């Protein structure tokens, strides 16, 4: 199995290289560049800029070079750990991203934990008491949960909080804590604001996971090894958790691979709606403004997170299921 993991890790830089080319091409695809948008924005707000100034800026930012030279410069900088400069914010990209990266990861992980803590027991309960009242209620909730786009849920929740309670749930910290240094109280405040986006982000995934867990467990409960365990005299709950639940979880674990990255991507929408300092909204602005190094770097980070997520899931699956582990040889 170590061979398998090593092979995947060695492929990582190759994949990232391929992705960097793709990403850069996509970012450069729109006609014009950052300065075109900049000039247009200036014009719409009434100010103007002379042509020479635009040319000077263009040379300064290196936007007058052919595309492939820009790409090479980017790669050179990346190799040195320099993510480049944001043309819009005029700050190093590393700074901009760093401020938001932790939150992005924390939000996704929070959502992930929430999803599994809720979905697995709900799925197990549903499978063990099929057609009960609670099972029907959960099924309805699941269907609706899968059908609701997460930005819609965010909007509705924010609106009801605003309209009925006069509370604005955007942002991450209460006014007192926004600029305060890190302390336990600040962490608690963060958690108090974080749970809502985490839940909104995780609802669709939770609903889907519960349904899959329920279906898988129902399948497993009919299998002969459950009868054997029961015939051994094991108490019902211990029996279910030890045998069929364990096997029903296996296919679910293999979905972690795309679920974690999906959480990272999905947090983009929720963060935009709820105004959270996430790398998602940053990417959105960068794309619209053609702030190419910023957009490119963030896209690469997303790619990296995706690949790592898939790798984690494959490792987990191999660890959980000895059939895979031992047959890899």
Partner 1 sequence: MAAEAVPAVAVNVAEERVSVASNWRLVWWRFRKHRLALLSALVLIGLYLVVLCPEFFSTQDPEATDARLAFMPVQRVHLFDGARLSPWVPGVVGKRNPMTLRMEWRADASRKIPVGFFTGGHAYRLLGVVPSRLHLVGAASTDGRDQIHLLGTDRLGRDQWSRLVHGTRTSMTIGLVAVAFSVVLGVLLGGISGYFGGLADLVIQRAIELLQSLPTIPIWLALTAALPRDWTPQQVFFAITVILSLVGWTTLGREVRGRFLALREEDFVLAAELAGASRRRIILRHMVPTFLSHIIATSTLAIPVMIINETSLSFLGLGIRPPAISWGVLLQEAQNLQTLALAPWLLMPGLLVIFAVLAFNLVGDGLRDAADPYSQ
Partner 2 sequence: MTTPVLEVKDLRVHFFLDEGVVRAVDGVSFDVGPGQVVGIVGESGCGKSVTVRAILQIVEPPGRIVGGRILFTKDGAAAADLTALDAKGPVMRAIRGAEIALIPQEPMAAFSPVHTVGDQVIEALRLHQRQWRPEGAPLSRREARALTIELFRSVGISMPAERIDAYSWQLSGGLRQRAMIAMALSCKPRLLIADEPTTAIDVTTQAQVLNLLRDLQRRDGTAIVFITHDLGVIAQMAHHVVVMYLGRVMEQGAVADIFDAPKHPYTRALLKSIPSVRAAPRTLLPTIAGSIPHPLGRPRGCPFHPRCPDAIPEICADRVPALRPVGPGQHASCFLYHRDEADEP
Give the pair of three-digit tokens for residue 170.
Answer: 């955007």
Selected from 265, 312, 320, 325, the binder of partner 1 by CB under 8 A is 265
- Which of partner 2, partner 1, none has residue 323 at its interface (CB below 5 to 8 Å by kind)? partner 2
With beta carbons less than 8 A apart as the criterion, state whether 179 and 168 touch. Answer: no
Contacts of 228 (CB under 8 A, 6+ apart): none
d(CA 53, CA 36): 13
Give the pair of three-digit tokens for residue 228.
Answer: 């054997």
Give the pair of three-digit tokens for residue 55.
Answer: 């040319």
Stretch that binds partner 1, among 55-63, 142-150, 184-192, 236-244 (CB under 8 A): 142-150
Q: What is the phi/psi pair of residue 188, to 5°?
A: -60, -45
Selected from 5, 6, 9, 30, the binder of partner 1 by CB under 8 A is 30
Selected from 20, 23, 200, 216, the binder of partner 1 by CB under 8 A is 23
Which residue's CB is nearer to partner 2, number 314 or number 321? 321
17 to 65, 79, 300: CA distances (angstroms): 21, 11, 9
With beta carbons less than 8 A apart as the criterion, state whether 134 and 125 touch. Answer: yes
> Please, which of residues 152-191 interact with partner 1 by CB under 8 A?
152, 155-156, 158-159, 162-163, 168, 170
Residue by residue, DSSP assigns 171-237 as: SSS-GGGTTSPP-HHHHHHHHHHHHHHHHHHHHHHHHHHHHHHHHHHHHHHTSHHHHHHHHTT--HH
Selected from 34, 112, 243, 259, the binder of partner 2 by CB under 8 A is 243
> Please, which of residues 272-311 interact with partner 1 by CB under 8 A?
272-273, 280, 283-284, 287-288, 295, 298-299, 302-303, 305-307, 310
Contact flag: residue 235 with partner 2 (CB under 8 A): yes
- Which of partner 1, partner 2, none has residue 225 at its interface (CB below 5 to 8 Å by kind)? partner 2
- Which of partner 1, partner 2, none has residue 311 at its interface (CB below 5 to 8 Å by kind)? none
Contact flag: residue 329 with partner 2 (CB under 8 A): no
Per DSSP, what are the bridge partners of residue 85? 92
Give the pair of three-digit tokens for residue 254.
Answer: 């293999």
- Which of partner 1, partner 2, none has residue 185 at its interface (CB below 5 to 8 Å by kind)? none
- Which of partner 1, partner 2, none has residue 320 at its interface (CB below 5 to 8 Å by kind)? partner 2
Tally the residues of the chain. Answer: 329
Which residue's CB is nearer to partner 1, number 243 or number 302? 302
Instruction: Indicate the Cα dihedral angle 26, 31, 37, 40, nearest 10°.
Output: -160
Which residues are at the interface with partner 1 (CB under 8 A)?
15, 18-19, 22-23, 26-27, 29-31, 143-144, 146-149, 151-152, 155-156, 158-159, 162-163, 168, 170, 258, 261-262, 264-266, 268-269, 272-273, 280, 283-284, 287-288, 295, 298-299, 302-303, 305-307, 310
Which residues are at the interface with partner 2 (CB under 8 A)?
223-225, 227-236, 243, 246-247, 250, 320-323, 326
């Amino acid at each position: 199995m170590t061979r398998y993991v090593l092979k995947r890790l060695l492929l990582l830089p190759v994949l990232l290289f391929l992705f960097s080319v793709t990403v850069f091409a996509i970012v450069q695809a729109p006609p014009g560049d950052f300065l075109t948008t900049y000039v247009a924005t200036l014009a719409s707000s009434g100010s103007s800029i002379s042509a020479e100034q635009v040319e000077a800026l263009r040379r300064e930012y290196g936007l007058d070079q052919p595309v492939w030279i820009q790409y090479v410069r980017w790669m050179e900088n990346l190799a040195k750990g320099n993510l480049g400069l944001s043309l819009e914010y005029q700050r190093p990209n590393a700074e901009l991203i760093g401020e938001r990266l932790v939150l992005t990861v924390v939000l996704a992980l929070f959502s992930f934990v929430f999803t599994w803590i809720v979905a697995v027991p709900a799925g197990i309960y549903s499978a063990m008491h099929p057609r009960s009242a609670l099972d029907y209620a959960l099924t309805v909730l699941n269907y609706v949960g899968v059908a609701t786009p997460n930005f819609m849920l965010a909007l509705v929740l924010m609106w009801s909080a605003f309209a009925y309670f006069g509370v604005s749930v955007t942002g991450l910290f209460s006014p007192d804590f926004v600029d305060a240094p890190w302390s336990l109280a600040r962490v608690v405040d963060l958690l108090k604001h974080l749970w809502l986006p985490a839940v909104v982000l995780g609802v669709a995934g939770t609903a889907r996971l519960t349904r899959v867990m329920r279906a898988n467990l129902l399948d497993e409960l009919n299998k002969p090894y459950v009868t054997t365990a029961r015939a051994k005299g094991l108490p019902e709950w211990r029996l279910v958790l030890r045998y069929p639940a364990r096997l029903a979880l296996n296919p679910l674990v293999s979905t972690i691979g795309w679920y974690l990255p999906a959480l990272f991507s999905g947090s983009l929408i929720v963060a935009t709606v709820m105004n959270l300092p996430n790398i998602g909204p940053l990417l959105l602005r960068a794309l619209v403004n053609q702030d190419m190094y910023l957009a490119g770097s963030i896209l690469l980070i997303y790619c990296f997170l995706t690949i790592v997520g898939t790798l984690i899931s494959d490792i987990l699956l191999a660890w959980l299921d000895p059939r895979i582990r031992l047959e890899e040889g």
